């Protein structure tokens, strides 16, 4: 298949390196430049598949600064791919700004289907999947209460991302806003060796992780709507 786009968003594995499509691997070999959130992480993926290509950093700290340089290069005929550390670029990771800039400059883009952490977590939760609200990471401080206030009456299944450093705090916040008996599901280390999913009410789930004592990995929290 001949590709016509100039800019590709390529999902990468969220854990298991085998979770990548054949097309994604081909494009990572063929594009002129790979823009990576963390070149060290992407280098490990490329090394695993014996791909040698040019890597350049593209992350939340430099995306405004280098955006025009990328657009200029694309206008001159360069073909590029954007990858994040894990999952699909633009989903709680950099990607939105450069996609918007490409569209404004009539640069054809394409996003490949592939790994996104919240999909397996949602399906495994046993909670309704027909309608859901993806909230990603909650604000750490400013705006956190306001965001949670808007979700008190949310009827759809809610999806959140969280780090191991704030998982207990976030679950406690959910108990305060949604009540201890609200059904939920927490998945961590998806597709990795120590993958774990805990289903139940918020109170039992927080007890599980408090008793664990060693909370590691990236978390996806699924909370039942009102």
Q: How far from chain centre, in Å, is Cα 164?
A: 15
Q: Are 226 and 203 in contact (CB under 8 A)?
A: no
Tokens of 33: 């430049």
Question: According to the model, what pLDDT value does residue 215 have?
Answer: 82
Chain length of the chain: 226
Distance of alpha carbon 8 from alpha carbon 208, whole angstroms:
41
Question: According to the model, what pLDDT value does residue 211 have?
Answer: 86
Domain boundaries, the chain: 7-111, 118-223
Question: According to the model, what pLDDT value does residue 212 have?
Answer: 74
Provide the residue-wise pLDDT of the chain in tens; the chain has 226 residues: 668 899 999 999 999 999 999 999 999 999 999 999 999 999 999 999 999 999 999 998 998 999 999 999 999 999 999 999 999 999 988 899 999 999 999 999 999 999 999 999 999 999 999 999 999 999 998 999 999 999 999 999 999 999 999 999 999 999 999 999 999 999 999 999 999 999 999 999 999 999 877 788 899 999 999 9
User: What does each C-alpha distance from 12 to 115, 122, 131, 160, 186 come to in angstroms?
Assistant: 6, 19, 26, 20, 22
CATH code, 118-223: 3.30.950.10
Tokens of 52: 């040698």
Question: According to the model, what pLDDT value does residue 216 have?
Answer: 86
10 Å Cβ neighbour count for 93? 18
Distance of alpha carbon 76 from alpha carbon 64, whole angstroms:
20
10 Å Cβ neighbour count for 129? 12
Question: According to the model, what pLDDT value does residue 1 have?
Answer: 62
Question: According to the model, what pLDDT value does residue 3 have?
Answer: 83
**7-111 maps to CATH 3.40.1010.10:** yes
């Amino acid at each position: 298949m001949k590709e016509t786009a100039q800019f590709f968003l390529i999902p990468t594995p969220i854990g298991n390196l085998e979770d990548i499509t054949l097309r994604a691997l081909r494009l990572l070999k063929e594009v002129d430049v790979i823009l990576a959130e963390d070149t060290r992480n992407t280098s490990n993926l490329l090394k695993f598949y014996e791909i040698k290509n040019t890597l350049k950093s593209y992350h939340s700290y430099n995306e405004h600064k280098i955006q025009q340089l990328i657009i200029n290069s694309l206008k001159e005929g360069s073909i590029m791919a954007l990858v994040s550390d894990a999952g699909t670029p633009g989903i709680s990771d950099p990607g939105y700004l450069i996609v918007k800039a490409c569209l404004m400059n009539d640069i054809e883009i394409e996003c490949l289907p592939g790994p996104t952490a919240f999909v397996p977590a949602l399906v495994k939760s046993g909670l309704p999947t027909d309608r859901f609200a993806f909230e990603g990471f909650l604000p750490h401080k400013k705006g956190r209460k306001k965001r949670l206030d808007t979700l008190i009456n949310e009827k759809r299944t809610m999806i959140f991302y969280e780090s191991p450093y704030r998982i207990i705090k976030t679950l406690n916040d959910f108990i305060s806003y949604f009540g201890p008996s609200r059904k939920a599901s927490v998945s961590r280390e998806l597709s990795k060796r120590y993958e774990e999913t805990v289903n139940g009410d918020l109170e039992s789930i927080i007890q599980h992780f408090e008793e664990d004592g060693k909370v590691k990995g990236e978390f996806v929290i699924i909370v039942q709507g009102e």
